Structures are given as structure tokens and as C-alpha cells.
């Protein structure tokens, strides 16, 4: 699987990730299952205080609520196919932790049922549904970890772009045809807007017969969480040393659109090669 979400671009989709960031929080959504588990726990607590139920039953109700919360969090992000650009690193960490807890629960259930099978209490065929649950939980962990890896890469890009914005770089007359430095900047004068983005997407697809591999478009939740306004900017996961990267830089030069080209490592960070289209991202002011 790629480090980048290849399906971010959906024209004419122009929805800002900021709106989603306002809705998506690290707390699990209050779904019907979560509410039911919470009500059950409240009732069980009262019964436990009255001595009607055991401590073991209370702990089971507590675990059921935590599981319902994890399930709701996973459903609202992974199952709903929420894009990488709609998450922050902190949220991604919470989702990954929830996925791993889910896998641990399914493995425990499989182990417990396997004991019953070994004791002859349950048929061996009954293990299949538990094994399928474990496999699904493993896939969810894989997806969560892949998204976390993607976010880490993008966060590294954001920091590299901040460094590049403050670093003087020569502005050669034809960057695309000359030697590429570790960080190369082209100070174009034209604005990069949605129409221009649409044009470059179509030209790229026509030229290379695949989607433009956009890793971050506009004001993503991750940029906002790191204090940057990425509005009107796009990061593309292409290597400036390779054919696709050279083509993109020539296209942008021809249109006089500003960009940064990153070859690879920046200050020891594993920053993936990419091209940032548009001017440097700006710092968000306290009043923004």
C-alpha cells in the first residue's frame, strides 16, 4: 500500500477538511451502541452498590462500554473511509490504539473458545467465526497503522516546507531541466487556484494514465493542528528526479506557478520526495 491516499482527488469535490476537523474528535461518537453500553454500566453500578451483582459483572459492563467506544471510533473513521487529510496525528494515534485493543479482544475470545473446543465442549467448526473476527481485526490494525504512517510522512513534509520557506534558494531560469537540489524553489508569480488544479490533474492523467498522487490538498486537519494554513496549496507525492516530477515542474514553470521540489531527506528526517505547489504555507494567527 502506498504511503499516500491516492483517492483524495475527487472532482468537483471542493469540501474543506477544516469543516470535518470541527466534527471529527478523538472521543468516540455517541452511537446507539455506546449509549446502550453506558446505560447498562450505570445500571450495573447501582446493582453492584446494592450488592445484587458481582464485581466481575461490573468489570464486564465496563469492558463492554470501552469496546463500544472503540467500535464507534473505528466505524467513524476506518469503516467510513475517512481520508488521511481529515485526521491529525493525535487522532490517528487514538484510532490505532483502539484498533489494537480490538485485536487483543478478538484474540482473547479466540483463545477462550479454543479451550472449549479442546475440552470437547464446542465443535471445532465453531472456531471459524472467531478466526474471521480476528482476521478482520488484524486488517483494521493494518489500515490504522498505514494511515498513521502516512500522517507521519505528511507531518514531516510540513516541517520540511517550513524550513524551506526560511532558506534562501537560487531561482534558476529553468529548474525543471537543470540539476535538482535537496530543496529547490521556483518563485512563480501566478496564483494556484482550483481551476489550475483541475487542469494539472487532467493533464497528468492524460500524460501518465493514472491519478495525480496528491498527499495533501488545501487546509487539512493535520496542517491546522500543526499551526499552518495550507489553503490554496497542494502537495504531490512525485519524485522531482523522476519523469513525472520533471514533467510537473515544467508544467508549473510554464504556467509561472510557484512550487517547492523536495528530493528526500531534510535535517535527518525521512521526508519523502514530493512537490509542494503554491507559495509557502503561512502560520495561523491566534485570531484565525
pLDDT at 17: 31
pLDDT in tens, 1-19: 333 333 333 322 223 332 3
pLDDT at position 287 is 46
Q: Name the average pLDDT for the chain.
A: 78
Q: How many CB atoms within 10 Å of residue 135?
A: 12
Question: Can you give the pTM of this predicted structure?
Answer: 0.58
For residue range 182-204, list pLDDT tens digits in order.
678 888 888 888 899 999 999 99
Taking 60 as the threshold, does the pLDDT of residue 36 lie above it?
A: yes
Q: What is the pLDDT of residue 169?
A: 56
pLDDT at 222: 72
List pLDDT tens digits, range 89-140.
788 888 999 999 999 999 999 999 999 999 999 999 999 999 999 999 999 9
Cα–Cα distance for residue pair 122/104, rounded to 1 Å: 22
- Region 70-94 average pLDDT: 75
* Percentage with pLDDT > 90 across the chain: 38
To the nearest whole percent, how much of the chain has pLDDT over 70?
73
| Better-scored residue on pLDDT, 40 or 216 | 40
Please give the full DSSP string across 155-174, using - where no structure is assigned: HHHHHHHHHHHTS-----TT
pLDDT of residue 18: 28
pLDDT, tens digit (0-9, with 9 covering 90-100), for 130-173: 999 999 999 999 988 888 877 777 777 667 666 666 655 555 45
Q: What is the mean pLDDT of residues 243-249?
A: 92
102/105 Cα distance (integer angstroms)? 5
Task: State yes or no: pLDDT of 58 exceeds 70.
Answer: yes
Amino acid at each position: 500500500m502506498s504511503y499516500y491516499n491516492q483517492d483524495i482527488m475527487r472532482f468537483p469535490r471542493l469540501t474543506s477538511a477544516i469543516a470535518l476537523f470541527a466534527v471529527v474528535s478523538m472521543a468516540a461518537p455517541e452511537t446507539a451502541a455506546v449509549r446502550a453500553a453506558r446505560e447498562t454500566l450505570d445500571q450495573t453500578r447501582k446493582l453492584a452498590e446494592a450488592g445484587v451483582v458481582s464485581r466481575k459483572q461490573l468489570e464486564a459492563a465496563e469492558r463492554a462500554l470501552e469496546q463500544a467506544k472503540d467500535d464507534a471510533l473505528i466505524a467513524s473513521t476506518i469503516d467510513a473511509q475517512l481520508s488521511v487529510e481529515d485526521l491529525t496525528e493525535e487522532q490517528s494515534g487514538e484510532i490505532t490504539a483502539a484498533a489494537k485493543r480490538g485485536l487483543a479482544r478478538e484474540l482473547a475470545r479466540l483463545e477462550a473458545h479454543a479451550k472449549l473446543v479442546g475440552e470437547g465442549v464446542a465443535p471445532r467448526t465453531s472456531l471459524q467465526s472467531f478466526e474471521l473476527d480476528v482476521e478482520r481485526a488484524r486488517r483494521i490494525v493494518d489500515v490504522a497503522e498505514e494511515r498513521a504512517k502516512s500522517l507521519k510522512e505528511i507531518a514531516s513534509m510540513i516541517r520540511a516546507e517550513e524550513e524551506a520557506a526560511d532558506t534562501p534558494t537560487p531561482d534558476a531560469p529553468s529548474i525543471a531541466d537543470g540539476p535538482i537540489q535537496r530543496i529547490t524553489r521556483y518563485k512563480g508569480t501566478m496564483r494556484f487556484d482550483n481551476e489550475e488544479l483541475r487542469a494539472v490533474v487532467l493533464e497528468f492523467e492524460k500524460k501518465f494514465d493514472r491519478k495525480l498522487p496528491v498527499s495533501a490538498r488545501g487546509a487539512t486537519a493535520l496542517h491546522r493542528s500543526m499551526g499552518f494554513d495550507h489553503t490554496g496549496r497542494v502537495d504531490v507525492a512525485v519524485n522531482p528526479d523522476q519523469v513525472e516530477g520533471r514533467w510537473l515542474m515544467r508544467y508549473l514553470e510554464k504556467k509561472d506557478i510557484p512550487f517547492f521540489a523536495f528530493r528526500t531527506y531534510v535535517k535527518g528526517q525521512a521526508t519523502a520526495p514530493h512537490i509542494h505547489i503554491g507559495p509557502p504555507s503561512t502560520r495561523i494567527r491566534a485570531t484565525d
